[in-house]
Chains A and B, each alone.
Chain A
Amino acid sequence: MKIECTIDGKALSLSVNSNKPLSLILMEDVGNRTIISHCRGKACGNCIVLINDEAELSCIIPAFRLRDANIRTFESYQKTRQYRDIERAYLATGNTPCPNCYASKTLIIESILQELTNNTRIKALGRNNLPLRNEEQHEEKLDKKAIIQELSLNTCQCMDMSEMMQIVEIALTYRRRKRVRRN
């Protein structure tokens, strides 16, 4: 099957088996070095990529779903300005994921940051710019739970959850500052 897609900014025409998982395509056909394991869909969380700017597990995406997709792996993501926020947060906390899960954990954090920064206005003020009522504030508390759920997608035990949460908080501060400056 011929698939036209963009991987790390390069427009490619790949001739692969139609049901081949994206993680294997990246490892075997594209020669990407940031995807290092194929867990066969067991959700180890080590094969995260950004497809059309949304984080996805590449081991559960088949080739036939990739037509005209824009795929970004850690290889191109690490050259972006967004990555600097997370990198600085790693440095600030003195905690860095191990080489096995570094790429995936970073992309998971990026996906959380995108989610948080896109929804900030609604979350701070609520709909119609009114302050949140009590029941709506309860949703705010759940956010922490949701972040933990996202972070635990990667099963590597090299960092504990409190360290990861700290990194997310610091990276979020950097990201928001950057946005304020831009505005």
Chain B
Amino acid sequence: MYEGIRSPVIHTPKTLSEFATIAYRYPSAIIWAGGSYLMSQKEYYPSEIKDGIIDLGSLEEMKRITRNDRFVEIGAMVTASQLLYAGKLVLPPVLQETLRTLASQIVRRQITIGGSLCVPDIRLSLSTTLAVLDAMAEVKYYQGGKVSTHWIPIAKLYDKDGKLLLGSQKALLTRIRIGLEYGDYQRFVCVEDPIRNTDECVIVAFQASRSQNSLSKVQFCITFPSKAFHISKDLESKLSGMTLPIHPERVNTLSYELVSELTKMHSGISELQLERGRRIFESFLHDLNAQSLSS
């Protein structure tokens, strides 16, 4: 049916050094993790793939989950489903919730952590939560016969519109590292499906520490999949140090500050998305208030 289209060569490196050799030899080969994003592209099949595909499926060193007292390291080829089953002890609650709501289990088996973070133009739930958790990604750059390794905070992997910033050189995200010191208040909300309903979807992750009714280390990230990846350092610092309960009027003011920041910095976010984002943010603060009053 698709005559004249050459079947792409599949390279299956078993180690990272084998990957490096292949990456130098075939610089424009497509790196294949889970494939769920690549295969959902319009031009995916039939199409001519010149340098072939580098399938990461056999790289065992990228499928490990390790943990020590300070952090968890997750290989980029670990699937969302495997990570979720890794257990409560390994993952922060907000990450568990993110993985649970990421997609149905059938799709979760296919989605890899590295693949989800390296989608070039759409930001999904995982990036949002990992940015809030201050996770770091190990990225290996392959250029001029040399490999250089960098640890980059997830929040710095993307620009303000959510586009991936790995540069033009061949790069491979090999693992992520999540610190085990996180806030005692964590929330994650995703409204609408980010794949099926990209233009209406809003993803918010939030974490904070509470001690004696005082908020500290507040971190939150609000994502509009194809439009914005927003971390407000200004609001975070305003919230850190506040005493609970926060006056409802102040909550309202803060939420509208978020909206004005979003409209100033990002274009194309719809009214519906803005209102959703504002209300989710407000609901977190009201929830914090409610918990502080009931305790």
Binding site for B on A (CB under 8 A): 1, 16-21, 24, 28, 40-43, 48, 54-57, 59-62, 64-65, 108, 111, 115, 142, 146, 149-150, 152-153, 155
Which chain A residue lies CB-closest to B36? Answer: A60
Select one of A18, A28, A41, A48 contacting B106, CB under 8 A.
A48
Q: Contacts of B100 on A, CB cut-off 8 Å?
A: 142, 146
Q: Is the CB of A153 within 8 A of B44?
A: no
Q: Once bound together, how far apart are the Cα atoms of A155 and B193, in whole Å? A: 12
Which chain B residue lies CB-closest to A51? Answer: B109
Q: Once bound together, how far apart are the Cα atoms of A42 and B164, in whole Å? A: 22
Q: Contacts of B1 on A, CB cut-off 8 Å?
A: 28
Select one of B45, B49, B55, B109 contacting A54, CB under 8 A.
B109
Q: Chain B: how many interface residues by the 8 Å CB criterion?
A: 31
Binding site for A on B (CB under 8 A): 1-2, 5, 7-10, 32, 35-36, 39-42, 44-46, 49, 53, 55, 57, 100-101, 104-107, 109-110, 195-196
Q: Is the CB of A19 within 8 A of B40?
A: no
Known contacts A57-B106, A149-B104: does B36 contact A19 (CB below 8 Å)?
Answer: no
Q: Once bound together, how far apart are the Cα atoms of A18 and B6, in whole Å? A: 9
Q: Is the CB of B110 within 8 A of A57?
A: yes
Q: Contacts of B196 on A, CB cut-off 8 Å?
A: 42-43, 155
Known contacts A18-B53, A48-B106: does B2 contact A60 (CB below 8 Å)?
Answer: no
Q: Is the CB of B10 within 8 A of A18?
A: yes
Q: Is the CB of B104 within 8 A of A24?
A: no
* Residue from A62, A142, A146, A155 having most chain B Cβ neighbours under 10 A: A62
- Identify the 4 closest CB pairs spanning chains A and B, nearest first: A41-B40, A41-B39, A153-B104, A17-B7
Q: Is the CB of A43 within 8 A of B7?
A: no
Distance to closest chain A CB from B53 (angstroms):
6
Q: Once bound together, how far apart are the Cα atoms of A149 and B57, in whole Å? A: 27
Q: Is the CB of B7 within 8 A of A18?
A: yes
Q: Is the CB of B105 within 8 A of A43?
A: no
Q: Contacts of B57 on A, CB cut-off 8 Å?
A: 65
Which chain A residue lies CB-closest to B49? Answer: A19
Q: Contacts of B104 on A, CB cut-off 8 Å?
A: 149-150, 152-153
Q: Contacts of A153 on B, CB cut-off 8 Å?
A: 104, 106-107
* Residue from B35, B41, B45, B57 having most chain A Cβ neighbours under 10 A: B45
Q: Is the CB of A1 within 8 A of B105?
A: no
Q: Contacts of A41 on B, CB cut-off 8 Å?
A: 36, 39-41, 44
Distance to closest chain B CB from A126 (angstroms):
13
